[in-house]
Structure 1
């Protein structure tokens, strides 16, 4: 956990807001069926994801410039150079509909934090993320959701962090930022936030411990 300014606690709190990534921290995907389809098509595991997440394909949808259907078309068009067009579209569609789940332990940790400070989700996601949160039972979980597709800015652009801090209603140097990608955390730290690169729930537990200790008699 890093913060270059290391601000002193205010009113006993080490920070006044938790800004948290969604994918890779709260939400996780089951790639089993997509992997099976890739193997059946003679493709290496992860091929579809590599195509889908290439900047030219994913940035337009993450900035809200393209719909998920347009994303599917872009993925399928590229895959069609390797497999029949029908199979390419099946793979692209499956990628965008991969089953997912929420890590309930992470959600519970964030709920505990929410008793003290606002929790804002900060995610590079599609225009469907609100529906996805509803499917996870988290439609009303966060105090706010900063979705790149709604604001047209993706992490690690500084503006998305500024918007998140504004939504939380606290200065940036009073925010804890949690993300599974180091470059996103580094960008937050450069703006004065306390940053945590998430690899396992122990990372979140350690970061939140000083805050949650306030509830201990």
Structure 2
């Protein structure tokens, strides 16, 4: 790769911190078929995405309960049991992140997160503070993969787009970063990430 990378931007969920809403819901809704229907029709990815955009949980719960009043308790259980959904971080990935953040590399983070749940995540995983700063989608009303959040992050932290490399587990978010002129690496695991970084001349 010929690009000179001066800025590395990390996603958080499924790159540094494990996220799985099924963890509490295997207990809350033991029946697998009912649980699958709940996530397919009630608390869907699209529904949760609006909290990442900044919609308050009270509004989110009210909207879902209006659609599925019979699921009111389970809908409220999503936020009430949210902390169980981030049970651990990926140690090898975090070790690489910390090495990069402690070196000459300019490292920031860009994440889709509701503001209040990110406060929980931030307190639980203090290594997140080791980058130069964090853009949280719900705090600014923008979400990945939309181009505007990448442009806002670059403006906030003074990043040169063509010298910026984004690491995310979702292909659509990598494509969103590219529309803003960034480079991107699809995260698979820490070992693969280290190999991919080396292609850009980035080593620790």
TM-score, scaled to structure 2: 0.82
Q: Distance in 1 between matches of 2:6 and 2:145?
A: 21
Question: 2:15 matched to which residue of 1?
Answer: 25
1:163 maps to which of 139, 149, 152: 152
Of 176-185 and 188-197, more deviation after overlay is shown by: 188-197
Pick closer, same or farther for the CA change 1:63–1:186 going to 2, 3 Å. same
Question: 2:28 matched to which residue of 1?
Answer: 37
> Greater CA radius of gyration, 1 or 2?
1
Q: How does 1:174-185 map to 2 (within 5 A)?
A: 174-185=163-174
Pick closer, same or farther for the CA change 1:118–1:188 going to 2, 3 Å. same
Instruction: Identify the structure with the greater helix proportion.
Output: 2
Mapped pair 1:152 → 2:141: yes
Pick closer, same or farther for the CA change 1:142–1:164 going to 2, 3 Å. same
Q: How does 1:196-207 map to 2 (within 5 A)?
A: 196-207=185-196
Question: 2:6 matched to which residue of 1?
Answer: 16
Q: Distance in 2 between matches of 1:8 and 1:93?
A: 42
How far 1:165 moved relative to its partner? Answer: 2.1
1:47-105 Cα deviation digits (max 9, x unpaired): 337633343x23432222x2234333434444434x4x43x345434553434122122
Q: Distance in 2 between matches of 1:191 and 1:134?
A: 31
How far 1:16 moved relative to its partner? Answer: 0.7
Count of matched residue pairs: 198
Gaps of 5+ in 2: none
Mapped pair 1:113 → 2:100: yes
Question: 1:92 matched to which residue of 2?
Answer: 78
Secondary structure of the 1:29 match is: coil
Q: Distance in 2 between matches of 1:96 and 1:133?
A: 14
How far 1:23 moved relative to its partner? Answer: 0.9
Q: Is the 8 A contact 2:110 2:136 kept in 1?
A: yes
Q: Distance in 1 between matches of 2:150 and 2:67?
A: 33
Question: 1:3 matched to which residue of 2?
Answer: none
Q: Distance in 1 between matches of 2:12 and 2:115?
A: 14
Q: Is the 8 A contact 1:38 1:45 kept in 2?
A: no
Q: Distance in 1 between matches of 2:90 and 2:166?
A: 18
Q: Distance in 1 between matches of 2:176 and 2:59?
A: 29
How far 1:142 moved relative to its partner? Answer: 2.1
How far 1:144 moved relative to its partner? Answer: 0.9
1:2-43 Cα deviation digits (max 9, x unpaired): xxxx6543xxxxx11111111111111353331232225961
